Each structure stands twice: as structure tokens, then as C-alpha cells.
Copies of this chain bind each other. A is one copy, B any other.
Amino acid sequence: MGAWKIDRLSSFSATVSAFLDGTDSPRAFLERCLAVIAAREPEVKAFVTLNADGARAAADASSERYRDGRPLSPVDGCPVGVKDVIETADMPTQMNSPLYRGWNSGRDAACVRALRKGGAIILGKTVTAELEAGRSGPTTNPFDPARTPGGSSSGSAAAVGAGMLPVALGTQGGGSTIRPASYCGVWGFKPSHGALSLAGVHIVSATCDHLGILASGLADAWRVARQISEGAHTPDCHGLPGTGHQAPPPARPRRLIRLYTKGWEEIVDAGGAARNGLGEEVEASRDEAALRAATRAAFEERIDRLRAAGVDILSRDNDADMAALEGELDNGVGGRLDIVAFEMRWPFDEYLDWHGADVGQSIHGYMQRGSRLTPTDYRRLLDLRARARRRVMEFAGRADGFVTLASTGPAPIGLAFTGSRTFLNYWSWLGFPAFSMPLLEVGGLPVGLQLMGFDRQDDRLAATAAWLAETPT
């Protein structure tokens, strides 16, 4: 275990029993969070808005409920950070954009409502990339302030990584939850598309965007996801499969599929092209090449340990079906960016028309890309994705999930570029569940192992994730 795991907050889930027996309290837990925030925030810059007074009042009410033995829900007393594209009634939602400076919707997004109704403490709004899609914010990596925390859920991942909070909400349309989770050494959970409500969230792409959870551990991530699933029934979502707030118990996978994806080529070619196989800009400093090579080695070593623990590893190296599937996914995944660019035309074209000078250059680029697409192109891309989804689902009986890296290496140096999302594009595109688990350490920095699953089998995937996190050591 690397240095980046030191001084981490206790898991909220592990603390609840102390709330119930009176040896700890939500207020005391919150004060520990606030102490870390006071110490780290000047450097990490995870928050846009912090509501310490409101949080203390909510924590006191929660503490009283535990004293009475009547917590409202399994998240009662849990401090939560909220990405600043998600509406909150008691704090503005500013989206790191001049267009929304000072804007307050006066209401909670459905996910925030579900948590608040369960007694969770909405502590603050965390830094996002501009409108989830553009310029990065000021947040730094909690393990090296010269490095990016990843994006676009930058503040949520950095806050949890710095031990300021046990859980924070993010979103993901490309790599926006899994990537910062990898760089900040925290758990990232992107449930199946449509599992959790996005009502009251400023989305970029209706068919690619997901609500994401950043957490210090699986138990907290699952508990929060379940609370949202049970409390936020909006017509856009179908809920998390299974029941119960406890994360599924560890289940040893019989077989995992190791995916290469085009992300692997980026590692191999590190220091080379400034664009990845999808034509997206990627970090390409030669100084990072060694870290990428070490990342590859750490991943291979992990795969070897899985094999040694008796897990069958399927991949394009030993299975013709997988080789065919990798090829199909590689051919299709580039369509994700086009789908996003088409779907974001509204409202982003409006932002450009009316407020163009206040919108960052990368969003202008997306809009140019989207403007070249016809509705027929778009429908074709959706059909292509539907086919890819069916193809991946054909493997649901043959394996328990897919493993690959959650990033091409540790967080790159610099704050403007939030890192490659090549490894993340695939499952964002498919809309199937994924975890980033902080199981690798490279050059003293965290790197996530990515575990990806099958549509609406989030519970099965969580059981596998739990096993992977514990085993093998």
C-alpha cells in the first residue's frame, strides 16, 4: 500500500456502528472532515462552495437521531460533496462557467434530494470542468499539486482523495468519474446508464452521461448509490439492481476478460503522438513515459496475481471471440465522441449563440464536430452502439467482467489537461457499469484498476470488485 493511502478518512460505513453506540457522532465525523479541509483545501482547491454552517446544523440533527437510535437511512450523517453541475437548493450551481455565475436553481437535483432526505449532509459543491465538458478548474491532485486531479469531476475526486469527505457525487459522459478516481486514489463507480436519476443535473449527452460516485471505499459508494436509487424515482431511470444498502459480499470471479483497448496503445507508444487512436488530444510528455511503462508492468503483475489466484483470464491473446470483440469495440468507440457532440448541440449551441465569448475553446470544438453530423449520421451511430451493446452482452455468461486500467498512468503533470480518457470511453459509450479501484501504485502515485461489467448487473460487478479489492494480496 502506497503513501497515498496514509491519513485517509475512515469509511463512513465503518463508522456508523460508533454513531449507534455513542462513541462517535456525525457532528464529530463532520468536524474531522472540516479539519482536513482546513488543512488541505488551500492547496487542493476542491470546493467552489462550502456550507459549513448548514452542514454543522444537519450533522447535529443527525447526531440527535443516532442518539435516539433512529437514523433516517443508512446514509444519515454522511458528509457528501456535490459536483457543481448538480443542483442544490441551498448553494449555487455555477458549473465553472461565467454563464452560471451565482445561479441558484432553488432546488435539489433528484439525487441530492434522495440523500438529504436520508439525512446525508450536503457539505459543499466541488469543482467541475466548465459545464462538464470544457476548461478544467483550479483543483490540484491531492498527492502532488503539480499534477491534475483528472476531470471533469475534479473536485469530487480530489476531496475524497485528500480525505476531506468519504463520498462525493460526480458525473461521467466519457471518463469524468473513473479517470479522476484513478488519479486521486479513490473508488469510482459509474453505474449502468439510467440506473440513477440525472434529473436536476446539467448533462452534456443524454445517452452517454451517468451519475458517478467517488468514495473512499466500496461500502460507502454502494450505500450512497442505493440511497439515490431508492429515493430518486424519476422517469429517466430504472434503479440499481438488487436490494440492500450493504455492498454485495465479495464473490470470486470464475473468469475475467482482460481488455486492451486503444488505451493500451497509448501506454506502449507513450512519448509519441499527441493524439490517441480516437483522434483526441492526449498527454504526451516524454517525462511521463517511464511512469506509463511502470503502470503497464503494475497492471500485468496484477493480472498474473489474479491468474495465480485461480481466476481464468480471457483476452484477445488466447480467445478468438475476444479478439473479434476488441476489434469491433475499437472500430465503434470513436462514435461516442460524435454521439456526445451531436447530443450536446442543445443547449451548447445556444450558449455559443448567446454567450460565445464566455465559452471555452474545447466546447467550441465539440460544437464544430457536432455541426458536421446529420440526424441520419446520429441514428446510425446509435444503431452501431446498440449492436456493440448486444455483442458485449453475449459474454455475460462466459465471464464475470472485464479488467483493464482506469488510466494510462498516474495523473500527468499540469492542470490544463485532465488526462487521457481512452480507457474510459468504451464503457461510457456502452453505458455499462464500471469501477475504478485504487489498487495500483506507480511511482508513489495511485492508479486505478478498472473493472467493467454488464448492463444492469451492477450488483454482480460490485461483488467481483469487492473480491478484487481484498484478493489477492
Contacts and interface: CB of A to CB of B under 8 A. Distances in A.
B235 A350 contact: no
Contacts of A354: 89, 106-107
A27 interface: no
Contacts of A347: 107, 110, 199-200
A174 B342 CA distance: 31
A21 B200 CA distance: 49
Contacts of A236: 206
A274 to B, nearest CB: 32
Interface in A340-377: 342-343, 345-347, 349-351, 353-355, 375
13 contacts: A89-B350, A99-B106, A106-B354, A107-B347, A107-B351, A108-B350, A113-B349, A113-B350, A199-B347, A200-B346, A200-B347, A206-B234, A235-B343
Contacts of A343: 234-235
A346 B106 contact: no
A257 interface: no
Each complex incorporates copies of this chain amounting to 2
Contacts of A342: 233
A261 interface: no
Nearest to A232: B346
Interface residues of A, number: 32
A346 B110 CA distance: 6
A279 B342 CA distance: 44
Interface string A225-238: 00000001111100
A207 interface: yes
Contacts of A350: 89, 107-108, 113
A264 interface: no
The 8 A-B residue pairs with the shortest CB-CB distance, nearest first, are: A107-B350, A206-B235, A110-B346, A89-B354, A233-B375, A107-B347, A199-B346, A234-B346
A371 to B, nearest CB: 12
Nearest to A239: B375
A425 interface: no
A148 B232 CA distance: 37
A395 interface: no
Contacts of A152: none
A260 interface: no
Given A233-B375, A233-B378, A354-B107, A346 B113 contact: yes
Contacts of A355: 106
A137 B430 CA distance: 46
A141 interface: no
A206 B350 CA distance: 23
A276 interface: no
Contacts of A235: 205-207, 343
Contacts of A207: 235
Contacts of A420: none
Interface in A173-225: 197, 199-200, 205-207
Nearest to A345: B233
